[in-house]
Amino acid sequence: MEKIHGIISINKPFGITSTQVVREIKRSSRQKKVGHSGTLDPTAEGVLPICIGQGTRVVENIMEFKKEYIGTIRLGISTDTFDSMGTILKISNVDSISKKIIEENLKIFYGEIKQTPPMFSALKNKGKRLYDIARSGNSIQLTPRNVSVSKIKLIEWRPPNAKILVQCSKGFYMRSLAEDLGKILNVGAHLNYLVRKSVGPFKINESISLEDAIESFKENTWDKYLLNPDFALGKIPSTILDEINENKIKTGQTIFLTLPLEKHKLGDQIKAYGHKGNFVGILSKISENGTWKPDKVFTSNQ
């Protein structure tokens, strides 16, 4: 099969890991470079951008996007994994919990906050996955991390289940939100259901099923789902290069660009397109006089 470069937004189904999705896409597409841009738990479903070929070069950019989740938190039962798959640790009565109480306490999680990730997670400590450490019966002291929540809203309260919408930065765990909310309300809680609605410009209603993606590679119709790598660069400013500068960028050389790009600060990035409209790469400004260097180069012959 020909080389494929770009991103396919998958609506990950419940019950499989993000790594399994990558494995299936890699097998069916017969491409060497395939990766995802942010783990979704096996018990979660929703948007999982899969990067292929040169598309893997924008994984870091995708990970920086805000995410939107809708999760159902089951109050009154806490588990060791903070979700429905774990061992039950505590069962409590939730008769005293009202919609107003939940809404008031959700305000605690708005803005710039510190959050401790779950012990059962794909994060690493000294090269080992936390879930491997946890499954071996060991535990370590986890350091709270800085995360940001730009929106948090109680959508529905049907005791004992609270459906909550969250818009957040990378590194935020909905399972930790459930655990922390349960502690604050003194009844315990776990995340019972989770769907990721969006990752930046990648939306769930524009994503395809894993089955459809696999079928598209079999039928050689994958191009109708493939997004160009520059789709993952959001609102980064762009410029069109003449043929001379385009060739310089493709060979890793620096170039000089005039106004209006002189207004950019050192370190700022732009998207660069060739004289025929093809996406060439991501450039960074390295001098006040308007010198730019290629950070990542995208060419069709790699």
DSSP the chain: -----EEEEEEEPTTS-HHHHHHHHHHHHT-S-EEESS---TTEEEEEEEEEGGGGGGHHHHHTS-EEEEEEEEETEEETTSBTTS-EEEE---TT--HHHHHHHHGGGSEEEEEPPPSSSS-EETTEEHHHHHHTT----PPPEEEEEEEEEEEEEETTEEEEEEEE-TT--HHHHHHHHHHHTTS-EEEEEEEEEEETTEEGGG-EEHHHHHHHHHTT-GGGTPBPGGGGGTT--EEE--HHHHHHHHTT--EE--TTGGGSPTT-EEEEE-TTS-EEEEEEE-STTSEEEEEEE--TT-
Residue 41 annotated among the catalytic residues of the structure = yes
Q: Which of 41, 83, 180, 230 is catalytic?
A: 41
Tokens of 281: 């790469």
**CB 184, CB 102: distance < 8 Å:** no
**CB 292, CB 265: distance < 8 Å:** no
Cβ-Cβ contacts under 8 Å for 59 (sequence gap 6 or more): 35, 36, 37, 51
Catalytic residues: 41
